[in-house]
Structure 1
Amino acid sequence: MTIPVDQLTDPAVRAFVAAVNAGDRAAFAGVLAPGATMSDDGSDRDLDQWAEKEIFSSGGHMDVESEQADGRALVVRYRNDTWGEMRTAWRFLVGDDGKVTRFETGQA
């Protein structure tokens, strides 16, 4: 069972997932704080390069299975055209301005 995007608890995380699923680069950029950072499987990556490869040019999509930590920790069935589908964990740090300052993802 998945949680509908519009029912995710944290507004910044909800906007992040919606932007990914819509393939909307502008909305994705709008959800991120200036200088936002990210890691994949424990390694820091260039956020722009990673997002282009893993989300936008490969049809990335997030089906949220569960959320914790007031909606800032998700377990997601993530799929894209490169890797297929995998179960992943996502953690988000959100600043006082409601923008994502960092996200970390990896195998769940």
Structure 2
Amino acid sequence: MDETWNAEVRRDVARVLMTLRVEFAEQNHPGGRAIADITHRLHEECTAWITEARASGAIPPGPPPRQTALALLGALEGVVIAFAGQAPYDTEFADRAVRGVLGVPTTSILA
């Protein structure tokens, strides 16, 4: 059961979120506002994490945190959609994409 659930969730969550954002774009709809709010909060949290990680030296300096957070979320979403249902490669490439955006050396999790 867990294996089936994980495969289904991994395959569909990013695609569903993207579809909802596109469907509700520029509409005054409660569902669209909720999706926009969730996406905004996620971006704000990622921005804060990147700021904190740079301040602590955990990740190197780079482009402004807000833009880095947008790049990180976009890259992660794209990889997850492109590799839907292709475990363990989905997590391998998600890891590589995030590390690349953050400027952190890549280490294979499949080795």
The TM-score, its normalising length taken from structure 1, stands at: 0.28
The TM-score, its normalising length taken from structure 2, stands at: 0.28
Greater gyration radius:
2
